[in-house]
Amino acid sequence: MQKEGVKELVIHEVGLRDGLQIEARTVPTDQKVSWAEGMIAAGVDIIQLGSFVHPEKVPQMADTDRLFAHFLGTGRKREGVMFSGLVLNEKGLERGFHCGVQMFCMGVSASETHSRKNTGMTTAEAADRIIAMASEVLRAGRRLQVCVQSAFGCGYEGAVPEDRVVGLAERFLAAGIRNLSLADTAGHADPEQVERLFAKLHALGNGFDCACHMHNTYGMGLANCCAAIRAGVRYFESSVAGLGGCPFTKVAGGNICTEDLVHYLQRTGRRRDIDLGRLIETARSLSAFFGREMPGMVYKSGPIPMQSSNS
């Protein structure tokens, strides 16, 4: 039973960040604003506007500060939607505070190889740094989500020990973090593994939410989201049109497609408050901008018509 005022499942749209970060063609700020407006009109819950990284390393994210200024400037606060941003280091955290980020997202890879490629640090060093940054966010009273990346496997190392993932989660919970995400960065997860690993997280105690960030590299992304729902996960990160993937993993595959996920949820009686048509319009606009077909399916086929409850 869904609690009054609490959504059973929360959609966190990450296309403007994780979706665009590997694209060579720079997207103008006004185009990003237009896509974000489509996501807002559709009724997604959280929109990740970008990451606070050095513009020379990820040019696509050079306008992140401007995007937050646009959507969170004086008198521009939007009801019903939260804007998140990814931070990797202390400088990014400082920029995020200055921009008024409503939800900070951070991550530590459970794979030593991926961690070094992504951050230049070992997993333990990265965890120490993230926990210190997370403490600042919590003291400031801002929303926070910390992710264990490569939680289900690594393109470089293969299998990642589940105890290592759980150990990181335990450290984060001990630091007062109450929203934990597991990311299938390499797309290696399978449904049984997803249910098993989230069950281990839930066994750590109560009072925290679980999130998942699945990739569809090997075609199992939506099945893994279904498994996560069965395992009690509430927060789901996805990307419009299925765009994106981590540039620091061996095989970069697209994220779970937002409109495909929403289509599935609506077919099973969930999240019918989201305007799927607006999401499809945004996905088609994105496909037209890049001049190629995107990984998503529903924006191409159209949704299966919903039947009335008395038919």
Structure tokens at 256: 């779970």
* pTM of the predicted structure, to 2 decimals: 0.93
Task: Find all residues with CB under 8 Å of 186, minimum gap 6, and list them.
Answer: 114, 150, 152, 153, 154, 155, 215, 217, 246, 249, 250, 251
Is the CB of residue 160 less than 8 Å from the CB of residue 111? Answer: yes
Instruction: Please say whether the beta carbons of 9 and 229 come within 8 A.
Output: yes
Please report which residue ranges of the chain form alpha helices under DSSP H: 29-42, 64-72, 90-99, 112-119, 123-139, 162-174, 191-202, 221-230, 258-267, 276-290, 298-301
Beta bridge partners of 106: 146
Task: Clarify whether 246 is annotated catalytic.
Answer: yes
Place of tokens 């191409």: 300
Residue 97 CB neighbour total at 10 angstroms: 16
From first to last of its 311 residues, the chain has per-residue pLDDT tens of: 343 344 689 999 999 999 998 888 999 999 999 999 999 999 999 999 999 999 888 899 999 999 999 999 866 667 889 999 999 999 999 999 999 999 999 999 999 988 998 888 999 999 999 999 999 999 999 999 999 999 999 988 999 999 999 999 999 999 999 999 999 999 999 999 999 999 999 999 999 999 999 999 899 999 999 999 999 999 999 999 999 755 544 445 679 999 999 999 999 999 999 999 999 999 999 999 999 999 999 999 999 998 765 54
Choosing from 105, 225, 246, 257, the catalytic residue is: 246
- Select 10-298's CATH number: 2.60.260.20, 1.10.10.10, 1.10.3470.10, 3.20.20.70: 3.20.20.70
What b/e string do you get for 222-243 counting C-beta neighbours within 10 Å, with b at 16 or more?
A: bebbbbbbebebbbbbbbbbbb
